[in-house]
Amino acid sequence: MKQLDYKLFADFFQFYLQDESCPNDDPGGLWTREALDRLLAVGSGIVMVGTVRNMTVPVTIEIRETEPDDDLNKWDQVNECPLDVPSGRIVVAGCTDYFPDAARITVSPGSYRVRLYYGNLDALSEDGLEGRDVYRVAIWPDDAHVAVRVIKQRKIEGKSH
């Protein structure tokens, strides 16, 4: 397993994982009400991860050979989705980052599954600028092209969201 740690500016409450060859068009239309609720929007060759702060957030990315076997109890929200990476390079960036300068992760070209973990989502300052929210991303090869799914839902204001 390869682990990479980033501090990403989550401008507009999001950061991206995308295939380097994916067109850098405006993917904002992927943010439907359902996508906003699950903090995840997915398109062809792109995964847009929602955050609870519009600030720099810590992101850990694990490139794995197999699906992780985790205890999900310590996470507020857990999602999964597919990501095709025909170029063999995943761009990791905030949505307003200059993509030519963004971080790249080299992987074997192919299809992957992405599991997104969201932690400490309620640990924000009153103004929402400071927080202890954390984001973990596990990526492993998977030809199944799974549908986007919420494995564990966070609770907001005393109800499941």
Strand partners, 3: 62
Assign 161 a pLDDT band (cuts: 50, 70, 90). very low
Measured CA to CA in angstroms, residue 132 lies from 56, 67, 142 at distances of 11, 26, 31
**Is residue 77 within 8 Å of residue 153, measured between CB atoms?**
yes
Phi, psi for residue 125 in degrees, rounded to 5: -70, 165
Residue boundaries of the structural domains of the chain: 2-160
**Is residue 137 within 8 Å of residue 59, measured between CB atoms?**
yes
**Is residue 105 within 8 Å of residue 114, measured between CB atoms?**
no
147 has pLDDT over 80: yes
158 has pLDDT over 60: no
Whole-angstrom distance, CA of residue 160 vs CA of residue 157: 8
pLDDT tens track for 61-109:
999 999 999 899 999 999 999 999 999 999 999 989 998 999 999 999 9
Whole-angstrom distance, CA of residue 112 vs CA of residue 137: 12
The pTM is what? 0.92
Q: By three-state DSSP, how is residue 77 classified?
A: strand
Query: Which residue in this structure is represented by tokens 């993917």?
Result: 27
Looking at residue 139, what is its pLDDT?
98
pLDDT tens track for 9-62:
999 999 999 999 987 666 778 999 999 999 999 999 999 999 999 999 999 999
Query: Could you tell me which of 101, 87, 75 has the C-alpha nearest to residue 154?
Result: 75
Whole-angstrom distance, CA of residue 27 vs CA of residue 142: 24
**Is residue 112 within 8 Å of residue 18, measured between CB atoms?**
no
Rounded to an integer, the average pLDDT of 122-135 is 92
Q: For 2-160, which CATH superfamily applies? A: Competence, DNA-entry nuclease inhibitor, ComJ (2.60.34.30)
Q: Residue 161: how many CA atoms within 13 Å on its side-chain side?
A: 16
Assign 150 a pLDDT band (cuts: 50, 70, 90). very high
Tokens of 90: 């995943």
Looking at residue 24, what is its pLDDT?
65
Assign 160 a pLDDT band (cuts: 50, 70, 90). very low
Rounded to an integer, the average pLDDT of 132-143 is 96
